[in-house]
Amino acid sequence: MTLHKPQIVTLGGLNIDLVVRVPVIPKPGETITGHSFATFPGGKGANQTVALARLGAQVCMIGRVGADSFGETLLQNLRQEGVRTDFIKIDDQRATGVALITVEDSGQNNISVAPGANMAVSAEEVAAAFSALAEVDMLVMPLETPMEAILTAARLAREHGARVALNPAPAQPLPPELLQWVDIIIPNEFEAAALTHIETSDEAGARQAALQLHEWTGGSVTLTLGERGALLLDAAQSPPQFTFLPAFRVTAVDTTAAGDAFVAGLAVGLSEGMSLTEAAQLGSAAGAISVTRHGAQPSLPKRSEVEAFIQSRSNPGV
Ligand code: RIB
């Protein structure tokens, strides 16, 4: 196990989430009266960054925000978490990303994003960050920035001897060039199905999709299956081994950012030298706690909370 804090670079989106709580998610064309409205700092990239920092990593984020109050709020929030933000550019032409989120009483959501400045991150900005960083253990990325920036980050991370963790969300086709640099891919069942064109709703399909992703990347696969748990395919074992990790049972109020919490827990655990199963357990617990709380970044747990949660679930009497 490493004794130092994992040094992690993130590249991804920063959004302000505008959230309306409703009894049920409206159908197309339907208007529904909601319960409440709130704004939260969000964006998959920023959520994963905050979750990584709360779980014990030293994080440097690469991204872009607009020169507006939303951008300032997001930057201040990251700084308060101890995140290095000097490679988040302030764009005076484009607005900060915004996500319109509807959360229903069951905790499920739907999300529409106007990416704004996020989709202007350049390969040069990514290269400037990597040339300033002496030590990088891992790169963690969702897909909310231009593919050229993502490709550059993956290539430079590998040149730094760092591992590349890719969360292929929101789903989009991925170039083979990117896949060859990925050490661990963390899709949910819908993203895995979109990438592989294999139906993942049953266990056989999920296994087949995971094998396809392993074949393309040569790396490990963690396929998250919502409240069912996660299917792991560990490339560190020869031949690669499947493990099914059941989810912790909790009462969900808001599932926003649960996937981000999972990705962060997994990345911190792997960077600390844990096995894939141990690291996924950390991610699963972080995700389970996050769904019991409202909002994206406010819901993300600290390391001490995650460890206490795992302890309480392994000793139910405590
Ligand atoms: O993963 C959740 C995030 O997706 C939200 O915070 C929203 O901003 C979108 O990017």
pLDDT surpassing 50 at residue 267: yes
Quote the pLDDT of residue 314.
85
Atom of ligand 1 nearest to the CA of 99: 8
pLDDT single digits (tens) 81-130: 999 999 999 999 999 999 999 999 999 999 999 999 999 999 999 999 99
Quote the pLDDT of residue 3.
57
The CA distance from 171 to 259, in Å, is 13
Quote the pLDDT of residue 74.
98
| Structure tokens, 37 | 């409205």
pLDDT single digits (tens) 28-71: 999 999 999 999 999 999 999 999 999 999 999 999 999 999 99
pLDDT surpassing 80 at residue 290: yes
| Structure tokens, 44 | 């998959």
Asked if 251 and 38 count as a contact pair (C-beta separation under 8 A), the reply is no
Q: What is the mean pLDDT of the chain?
A: 96
DSSP state of 236: T
As to burial, measured by CB atoms within 10 angstroms (0-12 exposed, 13-18 middle, 19+ buried), residue 212 is middle
Instruction: Give every CB contact of residue 30 below 8 A, 6+ residues apart in sequence.
Output: none
As to burial, measured by CB atoms within 10 angstroms (0-12 exposed, 13-18 middle, 19+ buried), residue 72 is middle
For residues 115-153, one letter each, b for 16 or more C-beta atoms within 10 angstroms of the residue's C-beta and e for the rest, the string is: bbbbbbbebebbbebbeebeebbbbbbbbbbbeebbbbb
Alpha-helix residue ranges (DSSP H) falling in the chain:
44-54, 69-80, 123-132, 147-159, 176-179, 189-196, 203-217, 258-271, 276-291, 303-314
The CA distance from 267 to 280, in Å, is 9
Nearest CA owner, ligand 1 atom 10: 43
DSSP state of 161: T
267 CA distance to ligand 1 middle (Å): 18
pLDDT surpassing 60 at residue 154: yes
Mean of pLDDT values over 155-165: 97
pLDDT single digits (tens) 189-245: 999 999 999 999 999 999 999 999 999 999 999 999 998 999 999 999 999 999 999
Atom of ligand 1 nearest to the CA of 15: 8
Quote the pLDDT of residue 281.
97
Quote the pLDDT of residue 318.
40
- The strand pair at 184-185 and 163-166 is best described as parallel
Atom of ligand 1 nearest to the CA of 256: 2
- Tell me how far the alpha carbon of residue 145 is from its chain's centroid: 13
> For ligand 1, which residues put their CB under 6 angstroms from it?
13, 15, 17, 42-44, 47, 99, 111, 113, 256-257, 259-260, 296
CATH for 7-314, among 3.40.640.10, 3.50.50.60, 2.40.30.170, 3.40.1190.20? 3.40.1190.20
Asked if 33 and 115 count as a contact pair (C-beta separation under 8 A), the reply is no
Nearest CA owner, ligand 1 atom 7: 43
Enumerate the active-site residues.
Answer: 260
Mean of pLDDT values over 289-314: 97
pLDDT single digits (tens) 164-175: 999 999 999 999
Model confidence at 264, pLDDT cuts 50, 70, 90, reads: very high
Nearest CA owner, ligand 1 atom 8: 43
DSSP state of 218: S
Asked if 253 and 234 count as a contact pair (C-beta separation under 8 A), the reply is no
Nearest CA owner, ligand 1 atom 9: 43
